[in-house]
Structures are given as structure tokens and as C-alpha cells.
Amino acid sequence: MNTTPARNLISLPRAMLLGIVSLAPLASPAAAQTTPSATASPATTTETIRSRGFAKYSKDSAFRPYEFDRHAVGEHDILIDILYAGICHSDIHHALEDWRKEEYPMVPGHEIVGRIAQVGGKVTKFKVGDHAGVGCMVNSCRSCENCGNHEEQYCDRRVMTYASKDHYHGGLMTQGGYSDRIVLSQDFAIKVPEGAELDKVAPLLCAGITTYSPIRHTKIGKGDKVAVAGFGGLGHMAVQYAVKLGAEVTVFDITEDKRQDALSMGAAKYVNVNTSDELKGLDNTFRVLISTIPAKYDMAMYVKMLRLDGDLVVLGLPAMRDQPSVDAATLVFQSRRRVWGSQIGGIKETQEMLDYSVANRIYPRVEIIPFSKLDEAYQRVLKGEVKFRYVIDNSTLDASWRAANAAPAQPGQPK
Ligand SMILES: [Zn+2]
Ligand SMILES: [Zn+2]
């Protein structure tokens, strides 16, 4: 196993440059050895970056304009003008405090694509004008075993794209893609291949990699019987990857509305879970079953559908009050079936996913919306009505910002 750090491009945290003591000690001894460059390029700045976005001010608030600071463009950092941002179901779970107590104002969004507006003096991976993508994380320790194995998503000191304390930048809260621009280390940005359909690239950075990674990990291939439970933003990507790799794919969902969509994406079979007849005869069938279901469901039913040595891969994370579970009896009577979860993918694998998706024209089906439709979009995602991903056109920020500021504020909300 390769345990050397994936990269030695360790950005010196701005907090150190500015003399601010970080809230937690740096995990990376290598970072402490890095000395600041005395001759930073003019593109490297020490001023924070003023940004504008749409935020939740509490779990019950509507989205409202919010102005905030991002960390400065360090010598290994890039500044991206955001073009599109996807709306992931996780954004809604965060915004509604379904998983934990959150800090507000919160600007969600971890499916981001944009154009690079500024690069730090030591940036080599990108130049101004390039297109770049940002997914769920913006930094990690770069020195633990998982970072060394290109699995930064499992680093204990990773920094998520929003709602995360950035301990490499003085504990500043990160804010996501429902905004005009973002600053991050070049190492955590993904190169967007030439000719990519930019409005459809954004959701690949979470929904794409979250499904691609376990599909690769389980080595799904020709003739494998694979099932995808939950046919939404993640599910429709999982179906497309598995079909492309030659699997025979069965889709489970709770509505009739998506049957034709599943079949048109190459699924062999669509099962409406609310129709008991369709559920018959499926026990001991699938080698891999990928669950993207974001609500409470009967997990044991799906374990029974696995064949011996099959995998139930859990990607959807329902609210804490709605957690599904499997009891010991199910595991013993259905012996040697594995149940495990997976989170996004590492940066190297995310680049591989994006290159693969664009080369094979595997994209999400998207509905483009302005910022002014954010609240409505959240409601429709919760009702399972979106086909299949809302993507915000970030060029609508100015107009939506002006309109929101002209409207009377709701009680308890700052203008
Ligand atoms: Zn997501
Ligand atoms: Zn690490």
C-alpha cells in the first residue's frame, strides 16, 4: 500500500501567514516545515475575498442574500467565478438540520463549476480562464494514510465545501456554491475536460463521483446483476454508469412517473416498490445493490435481494430521525452479504470520473433555475418531483439579489 502523501504541494495555511493561531494543531508535520515565499506573485493576495450568495439564516428561513468573506488567494490557491451550482439532497439535509446542529447563515452547494479568475503565484495545475469543478471537499491534511492513498474523503481533517470549520484558515466557516465565487487549493479543484457541457458538469462533482466510486470499487462489469434503489439525482447517475459498464440494471423507486426515464437510460427493469407484485421473486438476485434512498425504508428487504457475497452499498443518508437499519437476524439468515456505506471519492478518482463521464457523454438530466427559485426547488426535491437535478445558473445572482433586497424581509430575517 502506498502511504506516501499524494502530493507535496502543501499550501501554507493563511492563518500562519497572518499570525493567527489555528483552532486546532496542524496534523501535517510537512506543513510546519514549509516556509512562506518571500516573493509571492501579485496574484497571491493576503486580503480576504468578499463574496455574495444566497443563504439560509435558520432552518426555517427562506433563502436570502448574504455577503461574506472567503479566505485570501494563497500561493497554491485559485479563485473561481462560479457558473453553475447543483442542488444536492445533502444541501437540503444540511439546511434543515436533519443530521446535526448547524451554523447559520449557511450558503450550501457542493456541485460547482466555474471559470478561474485568479491563480496564486505557485499554481501550476490551472491558468486564468480555465474551467474547474469543485465537489464536496476543499482541503485535507495531505499526510495521513487515507490522503496518501488518494482517499482524501476519508481524512479525519478534511474540510468540506460548506458548513465546515476550515482549520487550515483560522477556523473560518466554509460557504458553498450558491454564490458568485469560491477560493480553494488547486489540489482540490477538478480540471474540466474540453467540450464538456458545463451546465451538466456541476452535479457530476457530487452525484457523479458518489455513485462512480462504489461502482468502480465493486468492479461492476458486463452481465452483473446490479440494482439501484432510489432513482433521483444519485440514482440516475448510478444507472447510467452501471449500464455503460455492461451491467443488467434494475431500478427501484416509489413512483410510476420515472419508469420511462429509467428504461430510456438503459435499465432492464423498473420496480415500483408500492406495487407488491413487482417485488416478487427478487430475493438472492443482485451482486451489488446501491441504495440512494434519502428517507426511511426497509433495508432488510434489500439485503434479502443480494446473492451470496453481494454488496448493499448505502449512499443515501436519511435524516437522523428516519434511519433505516438491519437486525442481526437478517444478517445471519442472509449470511455473507455485506452492507457498507460510501462517501464521494478522492480527488484523483473524481478527476477520473469527470474525464470518463465527459468522454462517454454521461451527464445528469438537469433543470436550470435562477436563484429566485431556490426555495421552490427545495420543496420540489423533497417531494421527489425533480427530474433529476436542479442546477442554479449563477449568472442570475445579480438580478435575484436585487429582487430579494427589494422585497420586504420576513420576520427574523436580515435584509
Ligand atoms: Zn451532494
Ligand atoms: Zn489526511
Q: Which ligand is nearest to the CA of 177?
A: 1
Q: Where are the beta strands (DSSP E) in 276-365?
A: 286-291, 306-314, 338-341
pLDDT for the residue 31: 38
pLDDT for the residue 408: 63
pTM: 0.87
| Peptide bond just before 252 cis, omega within 30 deg | no
Q: Which ligand is nearest to the CA of 7?
A: 2
Instruction: Give the contacts of 395 (CB within 8 A, at least 6 positions apart).
Output: 83
SS3 300: helix
Determine the angle formed by the axes of helices 347-359 and 207-217, rounding to 10 degrees.
100
Q: Which ligand is nearest to the CA of 147?
A: 2
For ligand 2, a single-atom ion, the residues with CB < 5 A are 140-141, 144, 147, 155
Which strand (E) or helix (H) includes residue 68? Answer: strand 63-70
Tell me how far apart the alpha carbons of residues 262 and 236 are, in angstroms, rounded to a whole number. Answer: 8
Torsion of CA 379, 380, 384, 390, to 10 degrees: -120
pLDDT for the residue 45: 79
In the reported structure, the alpha carbon of residue 208 is separated from the centroid of ligand 1 by a whole-number distance in angstroms of 9
In the reported structure, the alpha carbon of residue 233 is separated from the centroid of ligand 1 by a whole-number distance in angstroms of 9
Cα distances from 212 to residues 14, 103, 225, 228, 334, in angstroms, run 34, 31, 16, 13, 27
Q: What are phi and psi of 76, to 5 degrees?
A: -105, 10
Q: What are phi and psi of 358, to 5 degrees?
A: -70, -40
pLDDT for the residue 33: 37
Tell me how far apart the alpha carbons of residues 75 and 72 are, in angstroms, rounded to a whole number. Answer: 9
Instruction: Give the contacts of 372 (CB within 8 A, at least 6 positions apart).
Output: 396, 399, 400, 403, 404
In the reported structure, the alpha carbon of residue 143 is separated from the centroid of ligand 2 by a whole-number distance in angstroms of 5
Instruction: Give the contacts of 402 (CB within 8 A, at least 6 positions apart).
Output: none
Q: Which ligand is nearest to the CA of 137?
A: 1
pLDDT, tens digit (0-9, with 9 covering 90-100), for 162-195? 999 999 999 999 999 999 999 999 999 999 999 9
pLDDT for the residue 58: 97
Q: Which ligand is nearest to the CA of 155?
A: 2
Q: Which domains, and CATH codes, for the chain? A: 14-205+346-406 (3.90.180.10), 207-341 (3.40.50.720)
Cell, residue 11: 499550501
Q: What are phi and psi of 260, to 5 degrees?
A: -65, -35
Q: Which ligand is nearest to the CA of 145?
A: 2
Q: What are phi and psi of 229, to 5 degrees?
A: -100, 125
Q: What is the mean pLDDT of each run of 10 residues along the chain (415 residues)?
A: 38 36 35 40 80 97 96 97 97 95 97 98 98 98 98 98 96 97 98 97 98 98 97 97 98 95 98 92 97 95 98 95 95 96 98 98 98 97 92 97 78 50
Residue 97 has, within 13 A of its CA and on its CB side, a CA count of: 11
Q: Where are the beta strands (DSSP E) in 342-415?
A: 366-369, 389-393
Residue with cell string 493576495 = 45
CA angle 23, 109, 386 (to 5 degrees): 150
Q: Are 226 and 268 in contact (CB under 8 A)?
A: no
Q: Are 282 and 251 in contact (CB under 8 A)?
A: no
Cα distances from 382 to residues 166, 271, 284, in angstroms, run 29, 21, 32
Conformation bin of residue 199: beta by default, left when phi > 0, alpha when psi is -120 to 50: alpha
Cα distances from 394 to residues 34, 82, 273, in angstroms, run 37, 6, 37
